[in-house]
Structure 1
């Protein structure tokens, strides 16, 4: 039986292994254990893990800023692609955000992550934005 449950800090090592073997996922220092735990604490119960008999099938990190939801690292392990697991994770994440009054969400997808781009293009209600540019900072003034 496939179950979806909230991600816990002790899931970090298994998730890190999943992210490392998944094309299109780029890991950053923010994916290390301490920032990961801080993210879970700031967004309690929102990030989701999909498993069967303690076997990790997929996951998504979910958070919000009070106005918009943000999805990170929506991944289903390659052997389980095509079973609708990513859509299940996505729908549950959006339902949880809606319960908090968050009705608009964003996801950032690397431009060379073709499989991920194809997934998001195929999702009803999601569209690529062409009216904005994303700028990032490490917080260090130079």
Structure 2
């Protein structure tokens, strides 16, 4: 297994993996342009797992200077339960630590039961004291 930072050249293979992964939902922000901005703003924080030249795992991370955010952890079905996801998470957390970030968050779809079990096993805690609210800027009228 080979792990390395994610690049724009990985985009199409990463999207194909995300589309095949239950619990990963793609949005407009996951367009080529969106991922270009994300990787440019957060260099060296997102990772790929490769085997025999095939991308079999991804994870993306970024931060706002205060908190880290983990997104799009995906491992190809036939490579699960082999430590690939855990290794990708460790790489992201170490990269975030290197940026001076000491806390990270992630969002899970409410029906992603396997994702909940995975993150709980790694020690992540479900929060009941906060709510997530979103606002889609492209849906709002211009001033």
**TM-score normalised by L of structure 2:** 0.95
Task: Give ranges in structure 2 of 5+ residues lacking alignment.
Answer: none
Report matched runs for 1:1-142 at 5 Å.
Answer: 2-124=1-123, 126-139=124-137, 140-141=139-140
Give the Cα separation in 2 of the matches to 1:46 and 1:54: 21
Deviations 1:28-81 (A, max 9, x none): 001110000110000011100001121111010110000100000111110000
Give the Cα separation in 2 of the matches to 1:53 and 1:21: 19
Give the Cα separation in 2 of the matches to 1:52 and 1:33: 24
Give the Cα separation in 1 of the matches to 2:4 and 2:52: 12
SS where residue 9 of structure 2 aligns? helix
Deviations 1:3-22 (A, max 9, x none): 11011101110001000011
Give the Cα separation in 2 of the matches to 1:56 and 1:44: 19
Give the Cα separation in 2 of the matches to 1:132 and 1:111: 15
Task: Give ranges in structure 1 of 5+ residues lacking alignment.
Answer: none
In the TM superposition, what is the alpha-carbon distance from 1:99 to its structure 2 partner? 1.0
**TM-score normalised by L of structure 1:** 0.95
Give the Cα separation in 1 of the matches to 2:130 and 2:68: 17
SS where residue 129 of structure 1 aligns? coil
SS where residue 11 of structure 2 aligns? helix
